[in-house]
Amino acid sequence: MAAKIPIEFDQWTREFYADSSGLGPGPVHVLSRIRGKVWAGTDAGISVLDEGVWKLRTQKDWPTREVRVLAPYKRCVLAGGPDLLLIYRDGKWATLAEPSSIIAWDIDVSGKLWVCSRDGLWTFDGFRWSLAKRAEGAALQLRDFRCLADGTAVAATARGLFFLQGKRLYWYVVQAREEGLLSNDARCVRADRAGHLWVATDMGLSVYSGGNGWCSIRGTEGLPVEDLKCMELAPWGEYWFGSDAGVALLKRGRWKYFASKRWLPSDRVNDILPVAQGEALVATAEGVSRLRARRMTLEQKALYYQANVRKYHTRMGYVTKRALSVPGDLASGRVNISDNDGLWTSLYIAAEAFRYGATSEEDAKANALESLNALMRLEEVTGIPGFPARAIRVEGEPGFGDGHPEWHRTPDGKLEWKGDTSSDEIDGHYFALTTYFDLVGGKGEKQRIASYAARLTDHIIEHGYFLVDHDGLPTTWGVWSPKKLNQDDRWRAQRGLNSLEMLSYLRSAHHLTGRKKYLECYKELVEQEHYALNTVKQRQTVHGHQVWHDDRLAYLAYFPLLLYEDDPDTRQVYLLSLERTWRQLRGQRNSLWNIMTSVMTGEPHDLEAAINTLAEYPLDLIEWTVRNSNRSDIVRDPHHPGQSLEPLPADERPITEWAANLHALDGGRDGRSALDGTWYLLPYWMARYYGLLG
């Protein structure tokens, strides 16, 4: 049943260059590789990247500051823009009288330099300039220029493509037409080694091979952004395209999209410089990004996340997301105190338990035990047997003593605990307890877990299948009573899910304690209160909307229930429920749902899609604001504005945990929070433990 996966995959990373790296503020207009180093043209002149630090090269003898074009030629460097052209030779910068500006340039097959200026086309052999073709009116509006292998040349202009050919050098114009050039608004032109001419326009890509050989590439062919500004065709087969909405990469016939602060300082891209296989520098309106693909294995990625969890996401044994005081800076801010510290920590306990089961690594056991102790502390602080808090906070932590009605002080006054505990928390507790018990626990720990599970379960049973708070009233969502679920229409939407939860709790408690009374209660709910049948259609659409977080609750309940239920007829009902749920979620390519379903059924359920999603996860789990609604390649859901029919790759959409709307095109938190690595670690180590990674 193991999924076939590559030994290694491309894990994209980014590094920003701006003020702190010496580049300076403001836009970077152009990048060029000159004499083995990267040069950048900016509003402040030219900076050179030297061992990771940018150094300003143009100072005393630099007569202008703004550089929009850089052209290395033999022992010279040309720099400037539409108003000035300078040449660097013999260690000095000098201003040229003619040509008086530089808009674009290229080197022909004979080694001669061609420069497009406002006044026409010039050639340069390293010593002497010659006017080859005078500009035929300012209306030409030339943007880019390329010399072709057959001796002709082509210019991209605001009026279409102009081919320069013949001994007398005359312009031959090609303009937009059906089955031809997409648009007269041509921005950039490049030629590949196969002889194809690639033209970037405001409507997409036009590819030309001579005669009537035109091919259009637009959003329907996978191009993420059609309104293009620049492009570079790397000789090793990576084609990069820039726009005011980010970068698109064409590699091995597939498109990859880089946008938002996850990848770029600004989505306004001015230039791209491919420097090696899987590596490019991108000049933007707010600095430079180095995009780089590291060859990585899934296990290496897991080790990276594990280290980050321990360093940035662990507080008193609780593992949750981190709030960032400086956007994108994991070292800033603090670990959240959330409504669901028990749930998030439970998932981490399970992840480390599966890691221990797969590897027998002692630090996995130690981490799981530390967080298990923290989880049990949630019940201890309330003073109510079997009633765990949502979270705790200590004196000096944010919010302590703020008088919130759901935060309660412990008798010694040093702690506060949050009440109104939900079913989310209880789902997490049983999932963590059973996983640790089965994979990690020694005899003493198993006894402690059994006692803890007994208190949780007894509390619920003795209160009529309610979770009852310190005030003697049921919590808002801790409701599993047959009277409520089967007879109260207000709980109709929760009937299937809450029935599933309660059956899972009782089956888990019987497994952990061996006490027959839990099995008797379980059978009573199945046989007299039709709880098993309630589960079949547990996944509901409420008021036309998917309740995505309920999918997490369902899967956490399904898992131990199907592990421990051995009656084939009862299992048949639960498997019917599970398959119905999974079919509705299948399009998400969700790593955890697919892996859990494969484990519970013993049959593969889109495992390769699950593994590909794990590979797609960005190393940066920061919740950057992401906008995809402007993309051209999205197939939108006609019934849900702002959603795609299929989820985008994990590193292109807003970063979320599994139980979220993965179809949402836009979202994020401006880089002010970061998920913990549990969202990768749990499905990965579960798959490793059950032998699903082949």
Per-residue pLDDT reduced to its tens digit, 388-431: 999 999 999 999 999 899 999 999 999 999 999 999 999 999 99
Mean pLDDT, to the nearest integer, of 550-566? 97
Pull the structure tokens for residue 314.
């662990």
Measure the CA–CA gap between 387 and 401, rounded to whole angstroms.
22
CB 632 within 8 A of CB 619: no
Question: 3-state SS of 361-413?
Answer: CHHHHHHHHHHHHHHHHHHHCCCCCCCCCCCEEECCCCCCCCCCCCEEECCCC
Least confident stretch, 27-36, 145-154, 226-235, 325-334: 145-154
Place of tokens 């749920």: 581
pLDDT of 211: 84
- Which helix (H) or strand (E) is 47 found in, with range? strand 45-50
Per-residue pLDDT tens digits for 498-523: 999 999 999 999 999 999 999 999 99
Per DSSP (E only), the strands in 82-213 are: 84-89, 92-95, 104-107, 113-117, 120-124, 129-134, 142-147, 153-157, 160-165, 170-174, 186-191, 197-201, 204-208
Token pair in block for residue 580: 């119905």
How many whole angstroms separate alpha carbon 607 and alpha carbon 589? 9
Neighbours of 11 (CB within 10 A): 22
**Residue 63, preceding peptide bond in cis (omega within 30° of 0):** no
Residue 175, token pair as written in the block: 């303009």
Rounded to whole angstroms, how far apart are CA atoms 343 and 642? 29
Q: What is the pLDDT of residue 63?
A: 65
pLDDT at 139: 45
Kind plus residue range of the DSSP H or E element containing 357: helix 341-359
Lowest average pLDDT, out of 98-112, 455-469, 479-493, 577-591, goes to 98-112
Whole-number Å distance between alpha carbons of 629 and 132:
46
pLDDT at res. 219: 97
Q: Is the pLDDT of residue 165 over 70?
A: yes
Provide the whole-model pTM: 0.94
In Å, how far from its chain's centre is CA 508?
A: 35
Residue corresponding to tokens 């403001």: 26
Q: How far is CA 392 from CA 75, 131, 147, 406, 418, in A?
A: 68, 78, 69, 11, 6
Judge whether residue 543 has pLDDT over 70: no
pLDDT of residue 592: 97
pLDDT at residue 171 in the model = 82
Percent of the chain residues past pLDDT 70, beyond the cut: 96
pLDDT at 140 over 80: no
- Answer yes or no: are the C-beta atoms of 112 and 153 closer than 8 Å: no
**pLDDT tens digits along 24-80:** 788 999 999 998 999 999 988 899 998 888 988 876 666 667 899 999 999 899 998
Q: Where do the structural domains in the chain lie, given as residue ranges?
A: 298-689
Q: 360: Cβ–Cβ under 8 A, 6 or more apart, which residues?
A: none
Cα angle, residue 32 at apex, residues 29 and 34 outer, rounded to 5°: 145
Residue 138 has pLDDT above 60, yes or no: no
Q: How far apart are CA 394 and CA 401, in angstroms?
A: 10
How many CB atoms lie under 10 A from the CB of residue 330?
16
Sheet of strand 334-335: strand arrangement: 334-335, 322-323, 673-674
Q: Phi and psi (nearest 5°) for 198? A: -105, 130
User: What's residue 115's pLDDT?
Assistant: 93
| Length of the chain in terms of residues written | 694
pLDDT at 7 (0 to 100): 76
Task: Give the mean pLDDT of 287-313.
Answer: 97
Beta bridge partners of 230: 242
CA distances from residue 314 to 121, 266, 349, 352, 360 in whole angstroms, order as listed: 63, 32, 12, 13, 22
pLDDT score at 689: 97
6 pLDDT exceeds 70?
no
Backbone φ and ψ for 361, nearest 5 degrees, come out as -75, 130
Per the prediction, the chain carries an average pLDDT of 93
Contact call for residues 359 and 684 (beta carbons, < 8 A): no
Alpha-carbon distances, residue 527 vs 459, 480, 523, 524 (angstroms):
22, 16, 6, 5
Q: Who wins on pLDDT, 142 or 77?
A: 77
Q: Which class does domain 298-689 fall in?
A: mainly alpha
In whole angstroms, what is the distance from residue 108 CA to residue 125 CA?
A: 11
Six-digit token pair at 628?
Answer: 């995809």
Q: Note the pLDDT of residue 354.
A: 98
The model's confidence at residue 333, banded by pLDDT at 50, 70 and 90, is very high
Of the listed ranges 156-165, 184-193, 643-652, the one predicted with least confidence:
156-165
**Which uninterrupted H or E stretch holds 560?**
helix 548-564
Q: Supply the Cα-derived Rg of the chain in whole angstroms.
A: 31
Q: How confident is the model at residue 360 (pLDDT cuts 50, 70, 90)?
A: very high
* Closest C-alpha among 264, 273, 220 to residue 246: 264
Instruction: Write the burial class of residue 219 (CB in 10 Å: 0-12 exposed, 13-18 middle, 19+ buried).
Output: middle
Please check whether residue 85 is in contact with residue 96, taking contact to mean a CB–CB distance below 8 angstroms. Answer: yes
- The reported pLDDT for the residue numbered 542 is 67
Whether 474 and 467 have beta carbons less than 8 Å apart is answered as yes
For 62, 73, 415, the CA distances from 89, given in Å and listed in that order, are 13, 10, 72
